[in-house]
């Protein structure tokens, strides 16, 4: 089975050109069989438990499973099809059953418990102590101490949650894939050339007769910004915000409700009052109270800002003779007009200076100046023709492979993310990381240059910050490498890296006009950076509203009517009428497609408190590219992964913990 082989390919990259969909099911079954047999062998061993024969051995026996799963789930997320969707549904309960078999194996847990109890006598390194703690804690939180009916029920809950998460993702992808709005030439009047080109390219990709609007953020957001057709903006906005809530087979509301119910039951089985208490116990925030305090501290000034902005936009609307209240499909349109007036800034003027290739090069150049990394594009078979791969070297030595998959397509789930096809480790055997960044930028018509908005460029830098966290990891065990850190710490490197995009010296060098080759004029650069916090009230309110709904949902039993409860929460905080949640419940994949950000969507803002403070340390010392600060960032955070507690890592880098003042200042809300 090719998926189980040791690949004799350059850098150990999966041989995507030799893998077919028919390979996955037998390979996954065999990998699960190998892993479970290995686990049972460890559990029944008569040898006295040691860190090597119990903890390290478990990582080793799961290597084939990790290899198969990493390839499959990369394809399922980036280039799905009906076969892969069916395989996802097939694999979800199987992988859950394997996980439950491991966590419920009493003999295995006894060995881990023995090591935990006797840890002071084992002469472990600091990293080994951390790995042991995380392993023991993981067993306990998975229900290893449960007995009888409680243990059986936990197994059932985990299996059902796995299936619900898979279904949620596929329903959302189906709604995004199947809907589009045909546009006539008349409908295109007033739209900037780049929006028209994107709409025509989307029509080609869908096989439509002409230009269309899809539910890809890279197309629908600029359409909402620039289209003079209020009726079409309303149609498009309502379609975008009703994903997962259209009734029928792809409706996610009942799945979200059942997910909340099962998570609450899981938490109570483990002795917690609610799922939020369970989830946050291992994060930096520790308690829902601390999370809510931070969110509300920022919510208050953000709402004032947004309310004032709404009054200005309403007057602009009335001046054009449009009667009635400002609606959610009006906000971006009038905000764009206001930005043009107040900052003399037109996105159509900006985009030719922000080409995809130049922004990729800018991200690479910053990594070279900060950490000495070099990037050489190489030719290797990948899973899609749009994906590209670079070898990453440091001090003349191979460090990692980096894959960039930047364009939206109907087979790719929405959003942007970073994952690892292979995570860094030194034991059981040395592995260099293979890291992938996935985005959903608008793909140009063949032969045209890909142009980004400033927000797109920020997303590129954000995801590359995650990639650096993976590539610069220098730990012994893969369970604590790279981004294997607390959820409310994982966004620190990514959000911190966004700051380098905003540096004038970076933009002066890489913001080059696609046609003329000229650098962005100083005046335009000044206006662009001066508008960095424009519409910040809207952006902050839509984000915090989603974070508060997520947190509140998980602080008690599941609501009977999830959408009614969402509306109540928004009413309680005074949500402005013309602003929608960034992610309404039926499309809130961060929270319901898996367990990663459940009760933890706040983590972007928690990390932002740190990233604003961390970048200030560069500015206070020698500037954005201060060598000492960069070395400290590498030594204290980027190379350490999760090998130490997150708070300890930040304290080592900064010497103190931050408060929200730097964040408020950074957002223009202080």
DSSP 249: G
Helix axis angle, 217-226 to 328-343, nearest 10°: 70
Q: How far is CA 139 from CA 88, 99, 101, 157, in A?
A: 25, 10, 11, 16
Q: Which long-range contacts (CB under 8 A, 24 or more apart) does 118-126 make?
A: 122/50, 122/51, 124/51, 125/476, 126/643, 126/644
Distance (Å, rounded) from C-alpha 136 to C-alpha 119?
11
Give phi and psi for 181, each to the nearest 5: -115, 115
Distance (Å, rounded) from C-alpha 93 to C-alpha 90?
7
| CB-based contacts of 449, cutoff 8 Å, min separation 6 | 355, 356, 357, 514
Token pair 């102590």 is at which residue?
Answer: 129
Distance (Å, rounded) from C-alpha 373 to C-alpha 468?
10
> DSSP secondary structure string, 316-380?
HHHHTT--S---HHHHHHHHHHHHHHHH---HHHHGGG-BHHHHHHHHHHHHHHHH-EEEEEE--
Does residue 444 contact residue 438 with C-beta atoms inside 8 Å? no
167: which 2 tokens? Answer: 């279904």
Q: Is 66 a catalytic residue?
A: no
Helix, strand and coil percent figures for the chain, each rounded to 5: 60, 10, 30
364: which 2 tokens? Answer: 């690479």
456: which 2 tokens? Answer: 């797109």
| CB-based contacts of 344, cutoff 8 Å, min separation 6 | 527
Q: How far is CA 106 from CA 44, 48, 99, 271, in A?
A: 10, 16, 13, 19
Distance (Å, rounded) from C-alpha 582 to C-alpha 580?
6
Does residue 187 contact residue 231 with C-beta atoms inside 8 Å? no
Distance (Å, rounded) from C-alpha 605 to C-alpha 491?
9
Q: Which of 463, 491, 542, 608 is catalytic?
A: 463
180: which 2 tokens? Answer: 């589009």
Burial of 190 (0-12, 13-18, 19+ CB in 10 A): exposed
Does residue 518 contact residue 511 with C-beta atoms inside 8 Å? no
Distance (Å, rounded) from C-alpha 317 to C-alpha 332?
12
Does residue 234 contact residue 213 with C-beta atoms inside 8 Å? no
DSSP 559: P
Distance (Å, rounded) from C-alpha 486 to C-alpha 644?
10
Asked if the bond preceding 399 is cis, omega within 30° of 0, the reply is no
Give bridge partners of residue 477 from the DSSP assignment: 427
Residues acting as catalytic residues: 463
């Amino acid at each position: 089975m090719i998926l189980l082989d040791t690949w004799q390919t350059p850098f150990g990259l999966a041989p995507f050109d030799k893998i077919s969909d028919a390979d996955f099911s037998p390979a996954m079954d065999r990998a699960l069989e190998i892993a479970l047999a290995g686990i049972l062998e460890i559990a029944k061993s008569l040898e006295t438990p040691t860190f090597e024969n119990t903890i390290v051995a478990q990582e080793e026996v799961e290597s084939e499973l990790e290899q198969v799963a990493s390839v499959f789930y990369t394809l399922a997320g980036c280039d799905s099809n009906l076969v892969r969707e069916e395989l996802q549904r097939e694999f979800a309960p199987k992988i859950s059953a394997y996980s439950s078999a491991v966590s419920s194996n009493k003999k295995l847990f006894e060995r881990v418990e023995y090591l935990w109890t006797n840890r002071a006598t084992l002469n472990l390194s600091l990293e080994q102590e951390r790995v042991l703690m995380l392993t023991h804690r993981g067993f306990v939180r998975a229900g290893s101490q449960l007995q009888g009916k409680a243990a059986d029920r936990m197994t059932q809950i985990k299996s059902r949650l796995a299936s619900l998460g898979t279904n949620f993702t596929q329903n959302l992808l189906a709604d995004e894939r199947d809907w589009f709005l045909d546009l006539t030439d008349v409908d295109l009047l007033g739209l900037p050339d780049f929006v028209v080109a994107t709409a025509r390219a989307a029509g080609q990709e869908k096989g439509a007769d002409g230009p269309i609007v899809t539910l890809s953020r890279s197309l629908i957001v600029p359409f909402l910004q620039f289209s003079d057709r209020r009726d079409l903006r309303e149609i498009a906005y309502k379609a975008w915000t009703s994903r997962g809530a259209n009734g029928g087979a792809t409706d996610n509301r009942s799945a979200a409700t059942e997910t909340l119910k099962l998570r609450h039951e899981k938490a109570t089985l483990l002795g917690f009052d609610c799922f939020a208490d369970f989830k946050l116990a291992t994060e930096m925030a520790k308690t829902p109270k601390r999370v809510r305090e931070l969110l509300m501290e920022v919510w208050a000034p953000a709402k004032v800002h947004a309310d004032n902005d709404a009054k200005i936009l309403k007057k602009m609307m009335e001046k054009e003779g449009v009667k009635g209240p400002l609606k959610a499909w009006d906000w971006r349109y009038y905000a764009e007009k206001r930005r043009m007036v107040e900052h003399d800034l037109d996105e159509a003027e900006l985009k030719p200076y922000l080409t995809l290739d130049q922004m990729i090069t800018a991200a690479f150049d910053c990594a070279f100046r900060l950490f000495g990394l070099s990037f050489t594009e190489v030719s290797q078979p990948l899973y899609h023709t749009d994906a590209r791969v670079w070898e990453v070297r440091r001090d003349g030595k191979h460090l990692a492979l980096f894959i960039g998959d930047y364009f939206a397509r109907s087979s790719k789930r929405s959003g942007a993310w970073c994952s690892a096809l292979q995570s860094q480790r030194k034991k059981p055997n040395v592995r260099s990381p293979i890291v992938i960044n996935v985005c959903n930028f608008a793909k140009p018509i063949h032969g045209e240059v890909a142009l980004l908005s400033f927000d797109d460029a920020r997303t590129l830098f954000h995801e590359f910050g995650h990639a650096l966290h993976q590539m610069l990891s220098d730990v012994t065990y893969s369970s604590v490498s790279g981004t294997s850190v607390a959820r409310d710490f994982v966004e620190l490197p990514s959000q911190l890296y966004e700051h380098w995009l905003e540096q004038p010296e970076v933009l002066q060098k890489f913001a080059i006009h696609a046609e003329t080759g000229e650098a962005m004029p100083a005046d335009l650069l000044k206006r662009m950076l001066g508008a960095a916090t424009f519409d910040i009230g809207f952006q902050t309110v839509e984000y915090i509203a989603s974070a508060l709904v997520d947190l509140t949902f998980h602080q008690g039993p599941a609501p009977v009517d999830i959408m009614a409860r969402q509306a109540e929460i928004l009413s309680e905080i005074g949500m402005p009428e013309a602003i929608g949640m960034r992610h309404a419940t039926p499309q809130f994949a961060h929270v319901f497609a898996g367990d990663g950000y459940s009760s933890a969507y706040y983590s972007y803002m928690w990390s932002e408190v740190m990233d604003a403070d961390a970048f200030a340390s560069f500015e206070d010392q020698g500037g954005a590219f201060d060598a000492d600060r960069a070395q400290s960032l590498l030594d204290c955070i980027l190379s350490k992964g999760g090998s130490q507690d997150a708070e300890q890592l930040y304290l080592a880098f900064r010497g103190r913990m931050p408060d929200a003042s730097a964040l408020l200042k950074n957002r223009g809300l202080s």
